[in-house]
Amino acid sequence: MFRQGDVLLVRVDEIPTNAKQTPNMILAEGEATGHHHKVEVIEGKADVFELADDLFVRVEGDVVVTHQEHDTIVLPADTYRVVRQREYDPVEIRRVLD
For residues 63 and 86, the model is more confident at 63
Q: Is 70 helix (H, G, I), strand (E, B) or coil?
A: strand
CA distance 28 to 58: 16
Q: How confident is the model at residue 89 (pLDDT cuts 50, 70, 90)?
A: low
Residues 90, 61 contacting (CB under 8 angstroms): no
Q: Taking the CB of residue 82, how many other CB atoms lie within 10 A of it?
A: 20
Q: What is the pLDDT of residues 38-79, one digit of tens each?
A: 999 988 999 999 998 899 999 999 899 998 888 899 999 999
pLDDT of residue 92: 60
